[in-house]
Structure 1
Amino acid sequence: MINMAHQEDAKEKFYRNFRIQQSNIQEQITHLPSIAPVAGERQDATEHILTNISRLTNDVRDATHFLPAYDHRVYTHAVNLLRKELDETTAKLAPKSRFQFRPRPVRTALSCDEASKGDSRRLMGGEKTTTTNGQPPISPPLSPGGGGGGGGDGGGSRGRSRSPRTVKVEGQRGAVITLPADHSRTSSAGQLTDLSGCVVNLCSPSVEASRAAPFASLTLKGIENSVVVAGHVDGPVHVTGLKKCKVAVTARQVRIHDCEEVDFYLEVRSGPIVEGCKKVRFAPLPPGGGLGTGEQGEQGGEENKWGEVKDFLWLKEGQSPNWSVLKEEDRVEEGVWRGVMGDGDEGGDVKVVLGRFGIARD
């Protein structure tokens, strides 16, 4: 009995340590695009991540004597996913692919370009506006953040495009958040942090922008009672600490941590990963498509794996109780998504928009 109790303690300690290291590595990979490639800074960061992944691999190997075979396979798979994600991220950052953008036709009913026509809520030049019906002010368009440091390039940045490394918004309450009409997300990482009662539309507002490179990565953290139409993300999406939200996104991979009562509408190339979540539900993007790129079902011919969810904290056989498939009768209708993207008649009334999604503002 004493030996069995010791093994259980070792398993619990290993789990906590593994999760901390895994989370740190994921964060490092997410922010890799925001690190300047000059002076070998990005290469040093990549090598540091590889070292951490190797260390975690050794930890899993050394834990074989007290981990059950099934648990060991789960941890090994998690490490392999980290390595794969790093490989995909560095491949996207390679110089050859960094500046070659393929034109992509926007041709579905819910395309970001079409949906944003006549959207009077979008603000230009950082001006602040209030609605005429007394509703809360609309937030300014997303602006370049400080990720990676603006002055870190030194003389090496002369003559090159100064597109933002990180596009972020934080600390908003009861706001409508959209991209400005001339915004291009080329080589940018997106960050949304500490939002409550907000409606966010990150779809490119113009044909030119929608044909440019999508977000390299996206981080959603600490968001409550909100709707997020995240558009197209070329790399990973990291979601942490969301409650009572609706999220729609097209991405390569989606990792979800510590979320509760969140509905995800996805088009993904690999199965979503959840950890520490409760009552999260999944559905494919609406049949009309286009919430991300207007390319639903055409990601290189790859299948949409929105329903192949993996719960890393559910180590038993069978269905995890922490997530489920969203029933068709409970899914948000296509017309409601149109309203978020500019075709609705609710204007800047955040409360009305959230109400149509079944979300009550606190």
Structure 2
Amino acid sequence: MPSSAPSGANQMQNEVISQHKPEISLKDRFFRYFQHEITALQEQMERLGDTALIGGERTDAIDHCLAGIARLSSEVKDASASIPPYDQRIYANAIKALQDKLAEARASFAPRSKFSFKTARKNPSAISLADAAEIAAQGRRHIPGYRSNDNSMQSSASPSPILCSTSMNDRLPSPQQEASAPLEAPQELQKSDTDKPSSSVSGASSVFVSSHTGVHIVLPTSASHATVPASITSLHHCVVDMTVPTADGRPFAGLVIKGVTESLLLCGQVDGPAHITGVKHSTIVVSCHQFRMHDCVDVDVYLSCSSRPIIEDCSNIRFGNIPEIYAPKSVDSTQPNLWDQVQDFKWIKVEQSPNWSIINESEIVPHDVWENIVPGGPGASVDTILKSVKVILS
């Protein structure tokens, strides 16, 4: 059979070629997947304006975009072991650009609000959607850096957080008054003219509360459209309740707290890390996957955490289990709650760190206080609430 030899030779040649054919790395495979997904999401957002309002079709389309962005962000985190740090930053910037573009689209669809809080300052590190689209056009293993611009800003679009003045004889200040006549802040919180009171529920971009004194702020249910990062900064003598938006299983993506004194912070549920820096004489209630605290003094933390909490450069920090009223409702029963397994990174001795302790049972805030006084109402001023949770003395 004269044809058998050439056939065998061809087969051997093909095997040699296949052996030398380079395998596609995990990094390159993920890049191709990412560029396909980000292109698809951009196309979905471009079609939002043509989607009918009848029957909630546009709302469903927006929710689908939000879910796609959240899923893509989660997949980037899951693949981080096989992606170089540089590429991770590029992917994160591309996702941020998509979030900003979707927030802008949602704001354009919403009815114009009669009032709004101050628009957040522009983020100079955000990239435009055109830059994000470049990731879909680049077919290289190393993606060139993106130019920075300031074309992206967080929107103060409706709905706005509710600022409650809960004393018996006070009237609820108008949002215009709250924005134009900020209350006097203590000297350590007065930084610049740009640090004026501001609070925003900014669509798919972020949620922030900043630069307030002596107010009770409650985020509305309508702030729960997406899993977005949240921040609380530069507060004194305040009560902030962010639990309502996350009560239905839509946690914040992450939480940053910085520069807070003499306040009660009800932070709700956080799907990722909670970073707390420079908090003094306050109480924090939060459910999160990671908890890290820096440079804090005299803080009570009521916590649910699936990893060991970490403190650093802190003193007189007391931990307690999260009150039942604020505990996550849909937590897997097998998921641990390590609220009391605290690690002090600045204490290397075998003995117990003197910088943290467990709240004595006799000093734990009672359930009826969380349920009846903390939410506010007639006769419940900010002072009343802060005294009830022992932030300030009676």
Q: TM-score, normalised by structure 2?
A: 0.51
Please tell me whether the aligned partners of residues 287 and 304 of structure 2 are also in contact (alpha carbons under 8 angstroms): yes
Match of 1:280 in 2: 317
Offset of 1:300 from its aligned partner?
4.6
The residue type paired with residue 329 of structure 1 is: S
Residue pairs, 1:197-208, within 5 angstroms = 197-204=237-244
Identity of aligned residues (%): 32
Match of 1:313 in 2: 346
Structure 1 residue runs without a partner (length 5+): 1-32, 53-85, 96-122, 146-162
Alpha-carbon distance in 2 for matches of 1:194, 1:253: 22
Which has the higher relative contact order, 1 or 2, with Cα contacts under 8 A spaced 6 or more apart?
A: 1
Offset of 1:136 from its aligned partner?
8.4
Alpha-carbon distance in 1 for matches of 2:219, 2:263: 17
Match of 1:216 among 237, 253, 267: 253
Greater mean alpha carbon deviation, residues 175-184 or residues 352-361: 352-361
Cα distance change of structure 1 residues 290 and 358 upon mapping to structure 2, 3 Å threshold: closer
Match of 2:287 in 1: 250
Match of 2:302 in 1: 265
Greater mean alpha carbon deviation, residues 271-280 or residues 130-139: 130-139
1:249-268: per-residue Cα shift (whole Å, max 9, x none)? 11101101011000101111
Match of 2:170 in 1: 134
Match of 2:357 among 324, 336, 348: 324
Please tell me whether Structure 1 or Structure 2 has the larger radius of gyration of its CA atoms: 2
Structure 1 SS opposite 2:283: strand
The residue type paired with residue 328 of structure 2 is: T
Is the aligned partner of 1:143 residue 2:200? yes
The residue type paired with residue 211 of structure 1 is: D
Match of 2:337 in 1: 304
Structure 2 SS opposite 1:351: helix
Cα distance change of structure 1 residues 259 and 130 upon mapping to structure 2, 3 Å threshold: closer
Match of 1:148 in 2: none
Alpha-carbon distance in 2 for matches of 1:136, 1:197: 18
Alpha-carbon distance in 2 for matches of 1:282, 1:291: 15
Residue pairs, 1:340-351, within 5 angstroms = 342=375, 345-346=377-378, 349-351=381-383
Match of 2:208 in 1: 168
CA root-mean-square deviation: 3.9
Offset of 1:346 from its aligned partner?
4.7
Match of 2:219 among 170, 176, 179: 179
1:306-360: per-residue Cα shift (whole Å, max 9, x none)? 0100000111222111111111111111111113553x55555101111111223
Cα distance change of structure 1 residues 204 and 345 upon mapping to structure 2, 3 Å threshold: closer
Offset of 1:293 from its aligned partner?
2.9
Count residues with an aligned counterpart: 233
Q: TM-score, normalised by structure 1?
A: 0.55
Offset of 1:303 from its aligned partner?
2.0
The residue type paired with residue 388 of structure 2 is: R
Alpha-carbon distance in 1 for matches of 2:241, 2:162: 18
Please tell me whether the aligned partners of residues 226 and 244 of structure 1 are also in contact (alpha carbons under 8 angstroms): yes
Match of 2:52 in 1: none
Please tell me whether the aligned partners of residues 135 and 349 of structure 1 are also in contact (alpha carbons under 8 angstroms): no
Cα distance change of structure 1 residues 196 and 339 upon mapping to structure 2, 3 Å threshold: farther
Residue pairs, 1:42-61, within 5 angstroms = 51=85
Cα distance change of structure 1 residues 178 and 280 upon mapping to structure 2, 3 Å threshold: same
Structure 2 residue runs without a partner (length 5+): 1-65, 99-157, 179-197
Structure 2 SS opposite 1:336: helix
Cα distance change of structure 1 residues 185 and 271 upon mapping to structure 2, 3 Å threshold: farther
1:91-138: per-residue Cα shift (whole Å, max 9, x none)? xx9x9xxxxxxxxxxxxxxxxxxxxxxxxxxx9656877566137859
Please tell me whether the aligned partners of residues 302 and 322 of structure 2 are also in contact (alpha carbons under 8 angstroms): yes
Segments ≥4 residues shifted beyond 4 Å: 49-52, 123-132, 135-142, 344-348
